[in-house]
Amino acid sequence: MGIALKAAVLTVSDTRTLDTDTSGAFLEEALLAGGHRVVDRQIVVDDIYQVRAIISRWVADPDVEVVLTTGGTGFSGRDSTPEALSPLFDKTIDGFGEVFRALSLAEIGSSTVQSRALAGLANGTAIFCMPGSTGACQTAWEGVLEDQLDSEHRPCNFVGVLRGH
């Protein structure tokens, strides 16, 4: 199982509550099942500055090593997670979005081109941004994150680049 990482989960939504947030709940449960700790979980409206403020606090907090976000990655209306978080990245993790869309192609066909899933490193914190559907979060977890957040996964994983490791 490897090193237990300290993670935070953010759901970006104008309509979800903790009772209706199945995507955030899935990510929290997946992290816990993977042996990690969830140190915070929040829901925020789809507003660039509110999203950026929460993530900035987590990036500055030494008790948060990984951030998983769900929602706000599409093209409609107020979707703004990429615009909110891209400026915070010290390095982008281009492969995350590429692999996510490749996996998603088999599930939802060409509609995957509308996903703006992305990831990056900020102050030694890995941030992974997924679409709002629970299925998309499951695809990202099972296809990328479960292995990449496991310190024992070879030939490489993200644990070694996180602050404190």
Q: What is the CATH number of the domain that holds 102?
A: 3.40.980.10
Q: Is residue 161 part of a domain?
A: no
Say what the pLDDT of residue 13 is: 94
Q: Is residue 104 part of a domain?
A: yes
Q: How far is 143 from 153, CA to CA, in rounded Å? A: 13
Provide mean pLDDT across the span 25-43: 98
Q: How far is 115 from 153, CA to CA, in rounded Å? A: 27
pTM: 0.96
Of the pLDDT bands very low, low, confident and very high (cuts 50, 70, 90), residue 1 is low
Q: What is the pLDDT of residues 93-119, one digit of tens each?
A: 999 999 999 999 999 989 899 899 999
Q: Is residue 60 part of a domain?
A: yes
Q: Is residue 160 part of a domain?
A: no
- Residue range(s) defining the domain that contains residue 65: 6-154
Query: Which H, E and C letters describe the chain, residue by residue?
Result: CCCCCEEEEEEECCCCCCCCCHHHHHHHHHHHHCCCEEEEEEEECCCHHHHHHHHHHHHHCCCCCEEEEECCCCCCCCCCHHHHHHHHCCEECHHHHHHHHHHHHHHHHHHHHHCCCEEEEECCEEEEEECCCHHHHHHHHHHHHHHHCCCCCCCCCCHHHCCCC
Provide mean pLDDT across the span 21-40: 98
How many structural domains comprise the chain? Answer: 1
Say what the pLDDT of residue 59 is: 98
Q: Is residue 13 part of a domain?
A: yes
Q: Is residue 118 part of a domain?
A: yes
Q: What is the pLDDT of residues 54-70, one digit of tens each?
A: 999 999 999 999 999 99
Say what the pLDDT of residue 158 is: 95
Of the pLDDT bands very low, low, confident and very high (cuts 50, 70, 90), residue 78 is confident
Q: Mean of the per-residue pLDDT values for the chain?
A: 95
Instruction: Calculate ∠ Cα 24-30-34, nearest 5°.
Output: 145
Question: Of the segments 16-20, 70-74, 123-127, which one has the largest average pLDDT value?
Answer: 123-127
Say what the pLDDT of residue 165 is: 78
